[in-house]
Structure 1
Amino acid sequence: MLIRYKKAFEKIAMGLLSFMPNEKDLKKLQQTMKQYETEEDRQLFLWKEEEDIIGLIGVLVVNEYEVEIHHISVNPSHRHQGIGKSMVKALRDIYPDKELIPNENTAAFIEKCEICHGSE
């Protein structure tokens, strides 16, 4: 289940974000978290299964037509189970009237799964 990020989940969110190649540096990671917490056009969502948060997806609402996926990360012990794909599908439900587009950091995953435009 996709849930909105709350400050109480900051440490787990930072841990999941740190798996992104461009978020290895602590200062960069803290800056990214601050952007999600303070900028209205950025949204961070967490994937929760039972009581565990095992995934994260972060977006930038570009305009009234597009939402850009900036971050997508799954706990390594839960990878290859379709969680990333499920997060994108759930995101499509949250933004039904917007096109989901990847950025340079998420393009390879999104294209591999062919899930932004609804072709599954």
Structure 2
Amino acid sequence: MPDRSDLIWLFFRISGRLSRAAYFLGGLLVAIIQAFPLYRFTLVPEGTTESNMWSFIFFIAFIASLWSNVALAVKRLHDLDKPGVAALVLFVPVVSIVAFLVLCLFPGQPGPNRYGKRTNSPAEP
């Protein structure tokens, strides 16, 4: 079981490298966390206190998920030995779908690279 610092690194830090599987599964978890409050929002009558609460929770989850998606993509790009700034293409409609597929399908660089000695770990100082 990963400890808390591993999860903080995975979803909120941009140093290090990330494998295809970890990128996909991390992104899936972020999507589920984002979808749950949206689902709950659709089940309650519009304009109620409960509706307002679920929309606020969705807003918070959406903001947190934006950063998490960027952090995951930056580490995945690092595994491909590419600069993390390229993660900005995830915000371009249509191009983001192609970028996501590339990040999920292309294998990372074997062995150490300038972003870390190994995959699925933070960069060592």
TM-score (norm 1): 0.26
Give the structure with the larger strand fraction.
Answer: 1
Give the structure with the larger helix fraction.
Answer: 2
For the pair shown, the structure with the greater C-alpha radius of gyration is 2
Larger RCO (CA within 8 A; separation ≥ 6): 2
